[in-house]
Amino acid sequence: MRAHRPVWMFRRAPLQGCLVLCALILAAAGCARGADEARLTADVQNRLDRELSPDLFELVGLKREGSAPLPAGESGAPRVIVYFNASLRLARDYTFGGWDQLAPSSVAYALGATDKGVFGLQATNRAGEVVRAYGSAVYEEGPEGWVAVSAVPAERTTVAPDLDATGPSLRSKQLIDALAAKVNLPPPGVTPQDDEIIAQELTRATENIERRVQRRAHTFTLATGATDSEYARFGRSFVEAIGAAAPAVKLRQRGSDGSVDNAQLLSRGEADYAIIQADVAAAAVAGEDVFAQGGPLASLRAVGALFPEAVHIVVPTNSPIRDVGQLRGHRVAIGAPGSGTRFDALAVLEAHGLKVTDLAEARGDVTADALARLKRGEIHAVFLTALAPTRALQQFAVSPGLRLVPLSAGAMQRIIELRPGLTALTLPANTYPKQHEPVMAVASTALLVTTADAPDAEVAAVADLVFKRMPAQYAGSADVIRVSPQHQRRGVTIPLHSGLTRRQSSPDTGG
């Protein structure tokens, strides 16, 4: 005799099936948040045409790889980021490494990719070649559904861990104890003025000790820039690339205030190599301008040219300032003391008949602080000498928006006369988001610099690594590294190191 089941047991299976079906429908809808693959493909192609150049890339393949929620936009509307893999075919020849052409970073921005998320870009790409990317697109939900919005991909950086310390020798411990006796005083203790002097000297001594100790272990010190600067960003990628191309070569990065500071660090023996603007290097070797008081830094020698750096003059999109002369009476960030930005800003102002005292305020903020003040309306313009496009300005161009103040042809010639090493440069349209017209500017070459006492064989090996082996390894990536053998001598304003000139004049040994 068959047992009778309660009525609710017969209804359970269909109910479970309905719940599973609903869950699948909701999951499918969640997977298509923002845009499905067809909509995403159309949006990415439109963005390439709009933010780079029409008919430069043809999107030949795209695979949607899911999505994730983002913090709400300024309006409070929900946002999601949609990830994808894409293949793009070049419609025409293009020189992405050219001084007056769009940079790899502009391509990365248009695809919502990081600099290392684009593969296949080279100094010169030919029509028909395929570029691949791991990209993303940001969508915001509005009354009519999901709408694509501009956003710069976040950059993840890692900081090298501190090297293990070793115990001090007897002599060094005696000196440390003597120094401690000068600091550990009974109340009222060290005066603020004395404390500042001691702190400055200790910082310098610590860095110099670290540099000399590491030099003995065949680890070279590269002076770059402030923590959030493009020099520091380049330095991180540079150290990483050198390590990948030649694991036996050890390189450590040292922060600084910028080009002027770097020249002085090299001359004092507190760095082995440094990145210095060509116009700053020329003034340092000649003992001119900011280097006049201390005399020529005659020991500086060039290893080669790395990349061009444009002098940006940034204002908000709604600013009434249309030319440099209109900066008079305004609050302007002209760059930190010791930076190449300040060095160039002073020349730009002088070429337009302005002195620092003609400004309502001349601030020395680092880039991040200066742009934050510009966004809050506390200052009216920012100078920045940097590789274009620079990530900080890409982000600012997206929100709240920026406009680059161009230079007149007459003023440009005066600037070049004031700063040997600067040259005319056109920033092409779409170098930055929403920049629809080319901008006339001046630029300096960022040089890799060392000193005359660096061993010839070492410098020759470094140059070979930087300008031959490293570009070959990174030719398929849109990384910040854009060094090229073809541009190794472009814009060099100081003598080349003897390790390079002797190698050029020696017979070819095939090595």
Nearest to 316 by CA among 395, 237, 403: 403
With beta carbons less than 8 A apart as the criterion, state whether 251 and 244 touch. no
Give the least confident one: 228-237, 249-258, 348-357, 382-391: 228-237
Q: Which of 402, 432, 397, 398 is nearest to 102 (CA)?
A: 432
Instruction: Please indicate whether residue 321 or residue 191 has the higher confidence score (pLDDT).
Output: 321
Q: How confident is the model at residue 166 (pLDDT cuts 50, 70, 90)?
A: very low
Say what the pLDDT of residue 211 is. 57
pLDDT above 80: residue 170: no
User: What is the model's pTM?
Assistant: 0.73
Tokens of 193: 């003025």
290 DSSP 8-state letter: G
Rounded to an integer, the average pLDDT of 431-439 is 93
Which tops the pLDDT comparison, 285 or 237? 285
Of the listed ranges 57-71, 216-230, 483-497, the least confidently predicted one is 216-230
What pLDDT does residue 185 have? 54
Task: Give the residue carrying structure tokens 């002085």.
Answer: 264
Q: What is the mean pLDDT of residues 197-213?
A: 68
Q: CA-to-CA distance for 29 and 18, rounded, in angstroms?
A: 16
The answer to whether 442 touches 424, Cβ cutoff 8 Å, is yes
pLDDT at 190: 67
Rounded to an integer, what distance in angstroms lies between the CA atom of residue 83 and that of residue 234?
A: 26
Q: Which residues pair with 404 in a beta bridge?
A: 314
pLDDT higher than 90, residue 429: yes
pLDDT (average), residues 176-204: 67
Phi, psi at 134, each rounded to 5°? -100, 100
Report the Cα 236 to chain-centroid distance in Å.
Answer: 10
pLDDT over threshold 80, residue 52: yes
Contact criterion met (CB below 8 Å) for 139 and 112: no
Q: Which residue has the higher pLDDT, 287 or 160?
A: 287
Hey, is 397 helix, strand or coil?
A: helix
So what's the pLDDT on residue 408? 84
| Strand, coil or helix: 384 | strand
Looking at residue 164, what DSSP letter applies? P
**CA angle, 198 as apex, 195 and 211 as ends, to 5°?**
145
Q: What is the mean pLDDT of the chain?
A: 82
Find the Cα–Cα–Cα–Cα dihedral 310, 314, 317, 320, rounded to 10°.
Answer: -120
DSSP string, 472-490: HHTTTB--S----GGGTTT
Q: Distance between CA atoms of 103 and 106, rounded to whole angstroms?
A: 5
Q: Which two tokens stand for residue 221?
A: 């010190």
More confident residue, 231 or 212: 231
Provide the β-strand partners of residue 83.
136
CA distance 314 to 317: 9
pLDDT in tens, 58-82: 999 999 999 999 998 778 899 999 9
Position 493 confidence tier, pLDDT thresholds 50, 70, 90: very high
Give tens-digit pLDDT for 307-354: 889 999 999 999 999 999 999 999 999 999 999 999 999 999 999 999
Quick one: which H or E segment has residue 460? helix 456-464
What's residue 235's pLDDT? 87
What one-letter code names the amino acid at 387? L
Confidence at residue 164, expressed as pLDDT on a 0 to 100 scale: 36
Structure tokens at 391: 């990530």
Instruction: List the beta strands (DSSP E) in 334-432.
Output: 361-363, 381-386, 402-404, 422-427
| Between residues 476 and 135, the one the model is more confident about | 135
Whether the pLDDT of residue 156 is over 80: the answer is: no
Taking residues 118-144, what's their average pLDDT? 90
C-alpha Rg value of the chain to the nearest Å: 28
Q: Looking at 170-174, 216-220, 225-229, 425-429, which range is the least confident one? A: 170-174
- What is the spatial distance between Cα 503 and Cα 486, in angstroms, rounded to a whole number? 17
Report the alpha-carbon distance of residue 177 to residue 199 in Å, rounded: 16
The pLDDT value recorded for residue 456 is 92
Least-confidence region, from 3-12, 201-210, 458-467: 3-12
